[in-house]
Amino acid sequence: MKLAKKALFAGLILVIAAGMAFAGGGGDSKGGVTKGMDRKIVMGYSQIGAESEWRTACTNSVKAAAEEWNIDLRFSDAQQQQQNQLQAIRTFIQQKVDIIAFTPVVETGWEAILKECLDAGIPTICVDRSIEGSDRVAANPNDKNDPDNWFTAFIGSDMEQEGNRAAKWVIANAAKIKPGKSVYNIAELQGTVGSSAQMGRFKGFRDTLGINPTSALGTSKDGKFKIILSQTGDFTRAQGKQVMEAFMKSNGNDIDVLLAHNDDMAIGAIQAIQEAGKVPGKDIVIIGIDAVKGAFEAMVAGTMNASIECNPLLGPQVMETAVKILNKQPVEKWVVSTESDYDQTNAAAAYPTRQY
Ligand code: AHR
């Protein structure tokens, strides 16, 4: 009899645990109300994955801010698959969460699911990466077919401007590090193809250098800069290294400058350059984007030259915006991050203050 009771109890625990897992976040036993609300709100969050140091910092920021605001966060990791994001958002709709935040892995393919959110009356926030309409306010707020209505707010960086800033740094500094060259040959490691981060940085970099922004390779109008190699490394350290190994084999003696769309790929590439017998930071000038601690360490060590900051600490703004939306207060359509540029002249001084 005692045994049967124990079995029944264990069974009950299992059923409760399974229910909590289905709820997506292991349940939320903490009571109270959300900061700024008269009740506790539930947020579904679809994150891309954990491809970079930056992404980990972003995830930690979101989770910590949800704790601070006392928001019940249902967090889902899509492992780089848009399909998984669509599935997670659909589950959040079924769970009738109060609000959904998501980082779109690529820019397109969101129309159907965001219309489902609109139909369910669940507002959505785009975080870090954008989709079409991120910087526009809809003319008619009730027109479901207007992409400007597909989400309520976007919180993240101006990726195109990051590309502009990287190019400005190259124009101002390449000749100081490698003097006496009439043309600077550039290799590029692109981010995940089709993501707003890859597309914005790709275009911004070319626009500022004066290179045709619609083609991967090309020469600047003034003839001083030439992109000779450009391939995706999917924002990961391992692929950054792998693609750079191939670049070094085919054109190792020709490359003067490397632009990596994120620091993780730059750090992977540094290894490949060293293994090929070249000196990163001297033989090849290296610029990354993100300004993660790993890049600061490389800049201080002299193996990396510059990093353009992209701020991943978006959690507090996401929670604040969610509370405003649910309180029917006005919000900016695009809350743009403010960021700085770092290189070997200011990296050591800034390093101790870096949070990610
Ligand atoms: O979308 C932001 C980019 O995605 C970051 O630059 C990169 O590190 C990340 O994986």
- State yes or no: pLDDT of 193 exceeds 60: yes
pLDDT above 90 as % of the chain:
86
- 5 C-alpha to center of ligand 1: Å? 52
Tell which one of 190, 193, 261, 310 to mutate to probe ligand 1, the residue whose CB is within 8 A of the most ligand atoms: 310
pLDDT given for residue 133 in this prediction? 61
Q: How would you write the chain as a 3-class SS string?
A: CHHHHHHHHHHHHHHHHHHHHHCCCCCCCCCCCCCCCCCCCEEEEEECCCCCHHHHHHHHHHHHHHHHHCCEEEEEECCCCHHHHHHHHHHHHHCCCCEEEECCCCCCCCHHHHHHHHHHCCCEEEECCCCCCCCCCCCCCCCCCCHHHCCCEEEECCHHHHHHHHHHHHHHHHHHHCCCCCCEEEEEEECCCCCHHHHHHHHHHHHHHCCCCCCCCEECCCCCEEEEEEEECCCCHHHHHHHHHHHHHHHCCCCCEEEECCHHHHHHHHHHHHHCCCCECCCEEEEEEECCHHHHHHHHHCCCCEEEECCCCCHHHHHHHHHHHHCCCCCCCEEECCCCEEECCCHHHHHHHCCC
pLDDT given for residue 322 in this prediction? 98
- Between the alpha carbon of residue 61 and those of residues 155, 289, 313, 318, the distances in Å are 13, 19, 5, 10
**Domains of the chain and any CATH numbers:** 28-155+312-337 (3.40.50.2300), 159-310 (3.40.50.2300)
pLDDT digits (tens, 9 = 90+) for 201-240: 999 999 999 999 999 999 999 999 999 999 999 999 999 9
pLDDT given for residue 146 in this prediction? 87
Strands 218-219 and 225-232: antiparallel
- State yes or no: pLDDT of 305 exceeds 70: yes
- State yes or no: pLDDT of 187 exceeds 50: yes
pLDDT given for residue 132 in this prediction? 76
pLDDT given for residue 255 in this prediction? 98
- 311 C-alpha to center of ligand 1: Å? 10
- State yes or no: pLDDT of 11 exceeds 60: no
pLDDT above 70 as % of the chain:
91
Tell which one of 48, 51, 55 to mutate to probe ligand 1, the residue whose CB is within 8 A of the most ligand atoms: 55
> Ligand 1, closest atom to CA 292?
8
Mean pLDDT of 80-100: 98
> Ligand 1, closest atom to CA 128?
1
* pLDDT bracket for residue 2 (50, 70, 90): very low
pLDDT digits (tens, 9 = 90+) for 307-346: 999 999 999 999 999 999 999 999 999 989 999 999 999 9
Select the more confidently predicted residue: 223 or 10.
223
- State yes or no: pLDDT of 302 exceeds 90: yes
pLDDT given for residue 135 in this prediction? 65
> How high is the mean pLDDT of the chain?
92
- State yes or no: pLDDT of 25 exceeds 90: no
* pLDDT bracket for residue 138 (50, 70, 90): confident
Q: Give me 18's structure tokens.
A: 């399974």
pLDDT digits (tens, 9 = 90+) for 241-295: 999 999 999 999 999 999 999 999 999 999 999 999 999 999 999 999 999 999 9
pLDDT given for residue 27 in this prediction? 53
Select the more confidently predicted residue: 137 or 237.
237
Mean pLDDT of 9-29: 43
Handedness of CA 242, 245, 251, 257 (dihedral sign): positive
Tell which one of 77, 262, 265 to mutate to probe ligand 1, the residue whose CB is within 8 A of the most ligand atoms: 262
Which residues, 6+ apart, have CB-to-CB distance to 17 below 8 Å? none
Q: Pocket around ligand 1: residues whose beta carbon is below 6 Å from it? A: 51-52, 54-55, 128-129, 197, 235, 262, 264, 289-290, 310
Q: Nearest-CA neighbor of 331 among 101, 105, 54?
A: 101
Buried b / exposed e over 126-144, threshold 16 CB at 10 Å, is bbbbbbebbeeeeeeeeee
pLDDT given for residue 26 in this prediction? 45
* pLDDT bracket for residue 29 (50, 70, 90): low
Task: Judge if pTM exceeds 0.85.
Answer: yes
- 309 C-alpha to center of ligand 1: Å? 11
pLDDT given for residue 30 in this prediction? 78
Select the more confidently predicted residue: 136 or 63.
63
pLDDT given for residue 287 in this prediction? 98
- State yes or no: pLDDT of 8 exceeds 50: no
